[in-house]
């Protein structure tokens, strides 16, 4: 208990602007669990935490990070925020929504991304960015980080003093949103519903870092299993640990980390579909009516299913919780890639 209070008290010291509907629901996936039991003899008690329902413009995991980042922008007097990513970035869409809700201007530096199809540059998230009133600047050939830097430099030259939201909202401050989320687990689940492991996708790493650091701060035995969707495990783990150290430097109470990073669901790389991802999207949709996205939650879910079906990793546990991080608009640009091969 003192550890819970210590984490809560630290997080209270940071300005936070409410943006989402929290706590998000957590519930069992009974039809999926019984399918796994019937087909693979897996007896897991399977749960899902619904950050895809976090309440701001189709929801997703960035809302928690933006509660801290936007409060920082406002407290420093900025009227314009800038961020960037690919045309299908969920992070930029949620940043645009947060800015709209708070009456701030939002500028997005976008690049064409990895799937160079007509759908990719014209459907899904990018439609919503425009609808949400963001000013879009397109920089073909640049990376997400370069897009953010260039857009920020242009805005500074224009005298607009932008607040920079890092790629994926993943700096130490943004990641505090997921340290706070660690407290929510005990608020929404009873003692005998707590999972032994939480599975989460790892892209820019703030979600896994914040959760692992938050759980460590309260001395929780729950393990965070970060499923890589962007880089290989060694790079991802180094990134997560770097963010955790930066959170500690900001004053987040330390504790023993329980973190495992796995890259067996990554396939050939970021955004490149895998057959396991396609199968995971169908299984979640057809057993539970839950939509996963092709880039993040779908691959992480596929990685979870692989382990649950084997007698290794998550397959050795009684209770597992999948943390759904959203990304639903990303389904639409993949319409031609989602047919099973
Ligand atoms: C839907 C979705 N899930 C997961 C992630 C990965 O979270 P993080 O960047 O904090 O690792 C992202 C990041 O963009 C995302 O959009």
Write out the DSSP string of 128-161: HHHHTTPEEEE-TT--HHHHHHHHHHHHHHTT--
For the chain, what percent of residues have pLDDT higher than 70? 99
Name which of 121, 118, 116, 66 is nearest 89 in CA terms.
Answer: 121
pLDDT of residue 284: 98
Atom of ligand 1 nearest to the CA of 229: 6
Residue 69 near ligand 1, beta carbon < 6 Å: no
Answer whether residue 340 shows pLDDT above 70. Answer: no
Q: CA dist 183 to 152, 264, 272, 283, Å?
A: 34, 29, 34, 30
What is the rounded average pLDDT of the residues 289-299? 98
Work out which ligand 1 atom sits closest to the CA atom of 330.
1
State which ligand 1 atom lies nearest to the alpha carbon of 203.
11
Residue 236 CB less than 6 A away from ligand 1 = no
CA angle centred on 268, ends 266 and 270, rounded to 5°? 65
Testing ligand 1's pocket by substitution, the residue of 49, 54, 60, 231 carrying the most ligand atoms inside 8 A of its CB is: 60
Our answer to whether residue 220 is catalytic in this structure is: no
Centroid of ligand 1 to alpha carbon of 129 (angstroms): 17
Q: Which CATH class is domain 62-169?
A: alpha beta
Buried b (16+ CB within 10 A) or exposed e, 280-316: bbebbeebbebbbbbbbbbbbbbbbbbbbeeeebbbe
Residue-wise pLDDT tens digits, 300-329: 999 999 999 998 999 999 999 999 999 999
Average pLDDT, the chain: 96
Residue among 24, 48, 61, 324 to mutate when testing ligand 1 (max atoms within 8 A of CB): 61
Mean pLDDT along residues 204-208: 98
Answer whether 120 contacts ligand 1 (Cβ < 6 A). Answer: no
| pLDDT class of 260 with cuts at 50, 70, 90 | very high
Average confidence (pLDDT) over 247-273: 97
Write out the CATH class of domain 2-59+171-334.
alpha beta
Kindly state the helix (H) or strand (E) to which residue 198 belongs, with its residue range: strand 197-202
Residue 309: closest CA among 77, 97, 32, 89: 32
Tell me whether the CATH fold assigned to 2-59+171-334 matches the one assigned to 62-169.
yes
Residue boundaries of the structural domains of the chain: 2-59+171-334, 62-169
Q: What is the mean pLDDT of residues 110-119?
A: 80
The Cβ-side half-sphere exposure at 192, using a 13 Å CA radius, reads 0
Rounded to two decimals, the pTM is 0.98
Give residue 113's pLDDT: 80
**Is residue 86 in contact with ligand 1, taking CB distance under 6 Å?**
no
| φ, ψ of residue 166 in degrees (nearest 5) | -65, 165
- Residue 322's beta-bridge partner residues? 48, 199
CA dihedral 178, 180, 183, 188 (to 10 degrees): -70
Cα 204 to ligand 1 centroid, rounded to whole Å: 7
What is the 90 CA–ligand 1 centroid distance (Å)?
8
Ligand 1 center–CA 83 separation, angstroms: 15
Tokens of 240: 């997560």
- Please state the separation of Cα 115 from the chain's center in Å: 20
For residue 170 and ligand 1, the question of a CB distance below 6 A is answered with yes
- Of all protein residues, the one whose alpha carbon is nearest to atom 9 of ligand 1 is 204
| Residue carrying structure tokens 């897009």 | 147
Whether ligand 1 lies within 6 angstroms of the CB of 83 is answered as no
Q: 191 C-alpha vs ligand 1 centroid, how far in Å?
A: 28
- The answer to whether the CB of 201 is under 6 A from ligand 1 is yes
Residue 341's pLDDT is 55
**Residue closest to 325 by CA, chosen among 17, 144, 62, 33:** 62
- The helix (run of H) or strand (run of E) holding residue 180 is helix 172-188
At residue 194, the 3 state secondary structure works out as coil
Candidate list 54, 75, 89, 204, residue with the active-site label: 89
Our mutation pick for probing the ligand 1 site, out of 85, 172, 203, counting the most ligand atoms within 8 A of Cβ, is 203
Helix (H, G, I), strand (E, B) or coil at 47: strand
The protein residue with its alpha carbon nearest to ligand 1, atom 16, reads: 90
What would the DSSP string read from start to end of 71-109? HHHHHTT-SEEEEEEETT-HHHHHHHHHHHHHT-EEEEE
């Amino acid at each position: 208990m003192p550890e819970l209070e210590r984490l809560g008290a630290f997080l209270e010291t940071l300005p936070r602007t409410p943006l989402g509907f929290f706590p998000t629901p957590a519930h069992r996936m009974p039809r999926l669990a019984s399918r796994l039991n019937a087909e693979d003899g897996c007896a897991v008690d399977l749960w899902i935490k619904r950050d895809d329902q976090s309440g701001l413009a189709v929801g997703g995991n960035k809302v928690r990070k933006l509660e801290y980042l936007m409060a920082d922008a406002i407290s420093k007097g900025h009227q314009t925020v800038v961020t960037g990513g690919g045309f299908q970035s969920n992070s930029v869409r949620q940043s645009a929504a947060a800015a709209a809700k708070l009456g701030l201007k939002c500028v997005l530096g976008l690049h064409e991304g990895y799937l160079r199809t007509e759908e990719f540059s014209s459907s899904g998230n990018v439609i919503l960015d425009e609808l949400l009133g963001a000013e879009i600047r397109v920089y073909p050939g640049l990376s997400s980080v370069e897009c953010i830097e260039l857009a920020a430099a242009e805005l500074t030259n224009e005298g607009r003093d932008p607040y920079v939201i890092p790629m994926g909202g993943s700096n130490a401050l943004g990641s505090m949103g997921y340290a706070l989320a660690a407290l929510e687990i005990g608020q929404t689940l009873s003692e005998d519903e707590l999972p032994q492991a939480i599975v989460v996708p790892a892209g820019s790493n703030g979600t896994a870092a914040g959760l692992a650091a938050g759980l460590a701060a309260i001395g929780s035995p729950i393990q965070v299993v970060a499923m890589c969707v962007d880089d290989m495990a060694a790079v991802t783990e180094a990134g997560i640990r770097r963010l955790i150290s930066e959170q500690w430097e900001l004053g987040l109470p330390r504790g023993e980390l329980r973190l495992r990073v796995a890259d067996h669901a990554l396939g050939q790389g970021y955004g490149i579909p895998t057959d396991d991802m396609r199968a995971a999207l169908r299984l979640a949709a057809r057993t539970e009516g839950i939509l996963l996205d092709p880039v993040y939650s779908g691959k992480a879910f596929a990685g979870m299913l692989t382990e649950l079906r084997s007698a290794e990793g998550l397959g050795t546990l009684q209770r597992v919780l999948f943390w759904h991080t959203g990304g639903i608009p990303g389904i639409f640009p993949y319409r031609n890639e989602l047919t099973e091969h």
